[in-house]
Amino acid sequence: MDFDFQLAWSIVPDLLKGLLVTVRVVILGFVVATVLGMAVALLQRSPSSIVRRLCAGYLSFLRNTPLMVQLYVLFFALPQAGITLPPISTGVLGLGLYYSAYIAEAWRGAIDGIDRGQWEAASALDIERSTTWRRIILPQALKPMLPVLGNYLIGMFKETPLLAVITIPELFQAAKQVAGLTYHYNEPYTVMALLFLLISVPTSLFFKYLEKRSHAA
């Protein structure tokens, strides 16, 4: 089948609306995942065995169940327990929780990779533990985390088609609707792929730039 460039151009505005929804959900989900992942990584170092076991259970559950199942639970099962969230909020929470489990492990590895002497020097200088974390440990842990965070952010964009199951009008859903209305499939899905590239490639380059800046600093 010939590719209809005129049709492809005409559907760009509709797909851009879906792209904006995708970007919004992914960015908010990424913030949730990064912050929550860091919190879990810190809690894993808690002196309380109960807290450490809870963290282990949290990570095990999220890493060993599919994202689609988790989205179904959040969107369809929680309302039966009296908790109803809008689709966008569910998508943000679903992506944030799922990826927080992976980012938590990355944070843990980055923190464990910091030389023990940094802790000893901070203790010798009588620096408060909260200040040690905020001003010494976490800034150093962030440097090796940058490429990892970039990869997970791009991965989140690739997972967004799953959000269609909870009625979020993201990019894939928009392309699917256009295909259903026009009975043309090459054009909407090709434009969709190009729009994903338009987001993922600059994102990858941006995190590589940040990584180089961090090593140069």
pLDDT of residue 61: 94
**What's the pLDDT tens digit per position in 135-167?**
888 888 888 888 899 999 999 988 988 888 888
| Spatial CA neighbour of 120 closest among 130, 138, 132, 105 | 132
Task: Give the rounded distance of the alpha carbon of 165 from its chain centre.
Answer: 18
Share of the chain above pLDDT 90, in %: 47
State pTM to two decimals.
0.89
For residue 78, how many other CB atoms are within 10 A of its CB? 14
In angstroms, rounded to a whole number, what is the distance separating the alpha carbons of residues 183 and 181? 6
| Spatial CA neighbour of 138 closest among 33, 37, 38, 36 | 38
Share of the chain above pLDDT 70, in %: 98
**What's the pLDDT tens digit per position in 65-101?**
999 999 999 999 988 888 888 999 999 999 999 999 9
Mean pLDDT rounded to a whole number for the chain: 89
**What's the pLDDT tens digit per position in 50-64?**
999 999 999 999 999
In angstroms, rounded to a whole number, what is the distance separating the alpha carbons of residues 92 and 190? 26
> Diameter of the chain by CA atoms?
72
- The CATH homologous superfamily of the domain defined by 5-216: MetI-like (1.10.3720.10)
pLDDT confidence band for 217 (50 / 70 / 90): low
Q: DSSP code of 75?
A: I
Show me where the domains of the chain are located: 5-216
